[in-house]
Amino acid sequence: MKNLDSLTVLKRAIDSSTTGIVIADATIADMPLSYVNPAFVEMTGYSEEDSLGKNCRFLQGPDTDQKQLDKIRNTIKEGGSCKVILLNYKKDGTKFWNELSISPIFEEGSLIGFVGVQDDITARIEMEQALFEAKQKAESASKSKAEFLNVISHELRTPLTVMLGNLPLLTDPTDLPDNEEISEIATDIEESGIHLLRLINELLDISKIEEGRLTLNIEPLSVENCIHESLHLVKPLITKKGLVYKEKIEDFNFMGDAIRMKQVIINLLGNAAKFTKEGSVEIIAQVRNNQGEVIVKDTGCGIQKEYKSQIFEVFKQADSSSVRAASGSGLGLAISKKIMEMHKGTISVESEYGIGSQFKITIPLLDL
C-alpha cells in the first residue's frame, strides 16, 4: 500500500465495492456517465460499454416515481445531495428497486460531476410489502370476524326471543290459550328451535373445518335421491312464498357423503328461496364433460359484482344487512365450498344483480 498513490487505492476500493457506484459528468449538459463500477454492471446487467456516455435515465421506466425524479432534478440543479428510492429496469427488463444516494463533486469550487451510490433493495421492499399485506389481511380478518359475531349474536337472539317470549303463555295451567293458539305457539317455538339448531350446527361445522376435523362417510350415491331427500325440507319455504319450483333431473351416481351432499343442496335451494321474492327456483342435474353437475337457479335479488369474490369465504357475507333480513349466519356457502373440495368437486356462481343467481356444483362421476 505504501507504493500506491491515493487515487489508485481509491479506484481499487470503488472497483471492488459490492455497492453500485457511478460518476456523471456535470460539465456536459446531459451529464453522461463517465464511470460505472463492476457492482453496477452486475446489478443492472448493462456492461460498461452499454452504460458509459448515457444519462442514468436509461434505467428508468414509465412507472418510475415522478416525485423521486423531480427530487433528483432539483438536487442536480442546486448542486446538493439526496437519497431516493426508484423503481428501475435491468437490461433483461426485470424490475428492481434501487436506493440511490447522489452527492456532488467539486473541483476548485466548481461543480464537475455527481457520484451515485446504488443498492438493489428489491428483497427489502418485497418483504416490507409482504408484511404490509399480511397486516392488512389480519386487520381485514379481524374486522370480518367482528362483523360476523354481530350478525351471529343477532341471529342467535332472535329464535331465543321467540321461544322465551312464547313459553310464559303455556306455563300457567289455569290460564292456557285455546287449542288453535297453542298449536300456533308450538309451531313458532318449533321453527325457532330448528333455526337455532341450524345456526349451532353451522358454527360447529366451521369450527371443524378450521381445525381440520371435518370428516366424510363416503358411499355410492344417486344425485336424484339426494335432491329429492333435500327438497322436502326446502319445499315448504318455496311454497309459502308462492314461488314456482322447477326441476330437470338427469340421474347420475357418484361417491360421496349423503348427509354432507344434502347439506350443500339444501343450502343452495334454501338460499334461492330466501333471496327470491317472486318468480321461480329451479334445480337441474346433468352430466357434462364427464362430470356430474347440479345447478340451482333463482330469480332473486342477485349478487353485486364487488361481493361475488367473497361469498364463499368464512366470516364474510355479500351483504350483512340482506343476510339479516333473510335470516341466516352467512356461513352456508363457505361450508358448502369446503364440502365440495373434500369431494374433489367445485362450487361456483353466476349472478346478475337484481336479476337472479345460478349456483353450480360439480363432482366426479362414479366409475362403474
pLDDT at 1: 42
37 plus 166 within the same structural domain: no
223 plus 345 within the same structural domain: yes
CATH number (domain holding residue 113)? 3.30.450.20
253 plus 336 within the same structural domain: yes
- Contacts of residue 125, Cβ cutoff 8 Å, sequence gap at least 6: 85, 97
CATH number (domain holding residue 343)? 3.30.565.10
Cell of 126: 418485497
Could you list the residue range(s) of the whole structural domain that residue 307 is in? 216-368
**Residues 256 and 218 sit within 8 Å (Cβ to Cβ):** yes
Q: Is 6 exposed, middle or buried (0-12, 13-18, 19+ CB in 10 A)?
A: exposed
30 plus 115 within the same structural domain: yes
**Residues 43 and 118 sit within 8 Å (Cβ to Cβ):** yes
Residue 129 lies in a domain: no
- Residue the block writes with cell 303463555: 169
> Phi, psi at residue 132, to the nearest 5°?
-65, -45
pLDDT at 316: 57
pLDDT at 5: 63
Per-residue pLDDT of the chain (368 residues; tens, 9 = 90+): 455 566 677 778 888 888 999 999 988 888 899 999 999 999 999 999 999 999 888 998 888 888 888 888 888 888 889 999 999 999 999 999 999 999 999 988 888 999 999 999 999 999 999 999 989 888 877 777 777 677 677 778 888 888 889 888 988 888 889 999 999 999 889 888 887 888 888 888 888 887 888 889 999 999 999 999 999 889 988 999 999 999 999 999 999 999 999 999 999 999 999 999 999 999 999 999 999 999 999 999 999 888 887 888 875 554 444 444 455 556 889 899 999 999 999 999 999 999 999 999 999 998 75
281 plus 206 within the same structural domain: no
43 plus 176 within the same structural domain: no
DSSP-derived 3-state class of residue 11: helix
pLDDT at 320: 44
51 plus 147 within the same structural domain: no
Buried b (16+ CB within 10 A) or exposed e, 286-296: eeeeebbbbbb
Q: Compute the distance between CA of residue 334 and CA of residue 350 in angstroms, rounded to an integer.
A: 16
pLDDT at 322: 46
Residue 128 lies in a domain: no
Among 168, 198, 214, residue at a domain's last position: 214
225 plus 210 within the same structural domain: no
Residue 1 lies in a domain: no
185 plus 227 within the same structural domain: no
pLDDT at 315: 59
